[in-house]
Structure 1
Amino acid sequence: MQSVDRVTAVLMCFTDGEPELGVTDVAQRLALPKSAVHRVLEALTSSGMTTRSGERGKYRLGPRITELSLAALGTVDVRSVALPVMEELRDATGETVTLTFAIGNQRVYVAQVESRQDVRMTVEVGRRAPLYAGASGRAILMTFNEAELDHYLSLVELTPLTDRTLHDRAGLIDVLAADRTRGYTDSTGERDPYAAAIAAPIIGRNPRAFAGLSVCGPRARLDESARVTIGPMAVAAANRISDLLRGN
């Protein structure tokens, strides 16, 4: 196997179903020596294509892969359109505003405008998270039609990230139905136990959202009253970005 083919084969081993793999996992899958796989993974890690996970000896796709994926999806223009609106929303709410893209059955943070407050929430741009956990992902899921949602739920396991994560199918479907009625979704401690968020979908020419716009902050500040106030603001900002992207 040529070196370029070998690198490509190693990268293609990582999937939504198996986002983290060890040297032995990859070596067995590709029928390659573990020493060769280790060299490839270390080279990929040094360039940011892969990264070591929290579990000893495991690797996952790194931020450079995410950047390349986003470039292929044409998100640079989306971010340039969204950032001024995100800054206005940050100034209006006083909280961090994030932009999340759907990639497969997951979502990835592609941009953020940080709050100016001393105590604030921040995200790691390029980091992936499930669609079902937290407001940003559910803002995308709430635009799925019944068939799309059924297909998504057939592919993923609703693993709780905290003790507040929605992880039962019926409960998630009920929440998404309520979210559609008001036009936005919110969450408290579902992905990060200390964070709360409000999010609305960004929709292009397809009725299924490809992105979510979120206002996030500490749970102590984003109580129910604050979330009810910010919800329509997030919807208005997301709709504005959607209109700009559609050329309206």
Structure 2
Amino acid sequence: MKNKTVVRSMDILNLFIEHAELTFQEIIELSHIPKTSVYRMLISLEEMGFLEKGDDSKYRLGLLFLTYGNLVSTRLDLRQIAYPIMQSLHKELKEAINLIIRQGEEAMYIEKIDHYQKVRLYTAIGRKSPLYAGACSRVLLSFLQEDEIESYVENIQLESFAIGTITEKGKLLESIKNARENGYTISHSELENHTSAIAAPIFNCKGEVVAGISIAGIEVNYQDENVARFAEKAIYAANEISRKLGYQITSAD
């Protein structure tokens, strides 16, 4: 049996999902809770830090919610959230699926599913690559803030890893621009000859790029209509993971 006071307190707190601030009278009208009960609960919620009352006599969510929000955000396990989505994508496409995060000026692979992929690729859990090389790495670079991108490109020394590695800063900037316009990155023989990848960015609740998911395999499979097909699948999977991390997907995403 639900505790009536707790339920009513939650009803009051839930009003602030759609309202940034409310007066005492507005809370009564919106909650349909008796005046005396609202008064008692507001005092308790304010004392505990769930609500705060401003000099204008309006109530707002207290700073305690920032603490709870940060705890939830940091405790979400990216790999746990992403894995079933990666599994589904791998089962459908039969291509290797990778999950990567940024570590400084490098990207690190933290999960990989390649049960149906018969060709061994460069990617492996724990392996690192520079942010400019390969679709999965470059998707992290491409969706950083513009000043971070400019600083990175200005200071990085581009080295070749395979026949398709981008070694000119002009081409790197062009690739980043295309990624931001299209919503995904693509690479051919950048980290390993005759392999390709298509990757999409994963965002957290603050709209920051925190990871990337890629579809990878032999280069011959990443031509013509397969590019659009794989790109669509990668973006959809990335959006699903982003949504579970608290990112608000808009129609433009």
Unaligned runs of 5+ residues in structure 2 are: 1-72, 249-253
Per the alignment, residue 181 of structure 1 pairs with: 181
TM-score, normalised to structure 2, is 0.65
Cα distance between partner residues in 2 of 1:196 and 1:75: 33
Separation of aligned partners in 2, 1:108 and 1:205: 21
1:146 deviates by: 2.1
Q: Check conservation: 2:204, 2:247, Cα contact below 8 A.
A: no
Q: Is the 8 A contact 1:201 1:213 kept in 2?
A: yes
Tell me, yes or no, if the aligned pair for 2:206 and 2:247 is still in contact at 8 Å. no
Runs of 4+ in 1 over 4 A off after TM superposition: 73-76
Counterpart check, 1:134 vs 2:154? no
What secondary structure is seen at the aligned counterpart in 1 of 2:215?
strand
Deviation of 1:116 (Å) = 1.2
**Alignment correspondent of 1:150:** 150
Instruction: Tell me the SS of whatever aligns to 2:220.
Output: coil
Per-residue Cα deviation, 1:69-128 (whole angstroms, up to 9, x for no partner): xxxx96881100000000111112110100001010100000011141434546221011
Name the CA shift for 1:121/1:175 in 2 (closer, same or farther; >3 Å).
same
Tell me what 2:111 maps to: 111
Q: AA paired with 1:213?
A: I
Q: Structure 1: how far apart are the matches of 2:75 and 2:127?
A: 15
Matched, 1:221 2:226: no
1:30-109 map, 5 Å: 77-109=77-109
Asked if structure 1 preserves the Cα contact closer than 8 Å seen for 2:94 and 2:117, the reply is: yes
Greater mean deviation of Cα atoms: 229-238 or 198-207:
198-207
Contact 1:95/1:120 (8 A) holds in 2: no
Q: CA distance change for structure 1 residues 125 and 117 in 2, over 3 Å: closer, same or farther?
A: closer
1:14-35, Cα deviation, whole Å (9 max, x unpaired): xxxxxxxxxxxxxxxxxxxxxx
Give per-residue Cα distances to partners, 1:49-76, cap 9 Å, x unaligned.
xxxxxxxxxxxxxxxxxxxxxxxx9688
Change (3 A) 1:95 1:75: farther
The answer to whether the 8 A contact 2:207-2:247 is kept is: no
- Alpha carbons of 1:93 and 1:246: their partners in 2 closer, same or farther (altered >3 Å)? same
- The runs of 5 or more residues in structure 1 that have no matched partner are 1-72
Q: CA RMSD in A?
A: 2.1
Check if 1:170 corresponds to 2:167: no
**Offset, 1:133:** 0.4
CA contact (8 A) 2:122 2:192 kept: no
Alignment of 1:224-239 (within 5 A): 224-239=224-239
CA contact (8 A) 1:98 1:109 kept: yes
Aligned pair count? 176
Contact 2:199 2:214 in 1 (8 A): yes
Question: Greater CA radius of gyration, 1 or 2?
Answer: 2
